[in-house]
Amino acid sequence: MLRKARVTDVPQIHDILTHFGGLGLLLPRSRHELYESIRDHFVWQEDERVVGVSGMHVCWEDLAEVRSLAVIEDFQGRSMGLKLVNACLEEAVTLGLFRIFTLSYVPEFFTRFGFVEVDKSVLPHPVWADCVKCVKFPDCGETAMMLEL
């Protein structure tokens, strides 16, 4: 079941993002960051367990980021990631945001939605506030991608 995240989901979201962050696949988030940004997130729930997460973070008046997309390995391949990203894109449109970007190690996943690769320099400076927290900064190898809706 896809739904908006709740504060009670934060421990499970944190565990998922910490796991994939440890694998070097995304930027882990502290519990504090997750509580502050809980309204940005969607989760996929199976029974009582959160097995997937995505975030749509508003960056500026015309720009948002799809971030923190992760689905536990045992649940991958069931289109949960696609549905989580679609939820973010739909919310962006509802909010009047028509430029969405992502930084990804799996750019081919995002091309399914129409994202295209862009130079990181086109992203606004506030985006880099998260990047400087990453142990891989400045040479992370992520691909910057943009979608114009």
DSSP code per residue over 17-59: HHHHHHTTSS----HHHHHHTGGGEEEEEETTEEEEEEEEEEE
Residue 110 sits in a domain of what CATH number? Answer: 3.40.630.30
pLDDT in tens, the chain (149 residues): 999 999 999 999 999 999 999 998 888 899 999 999 999 999 999 999 999 999 999 988 889 999 999 999 999 999 999 999 999 999 999 999 999 999 898 999 999 999 999 988 788 755 655 655 555 555 666 888 999 98
Check: CB of residue 57 under 8 Å from CB of residue 5.
no
Which domain, by its residues, includes 134?
2-148
Residues listed for the chain = 149
Q: How many domains does the chain have?
A: 1
Tokens of 25: 């696949």
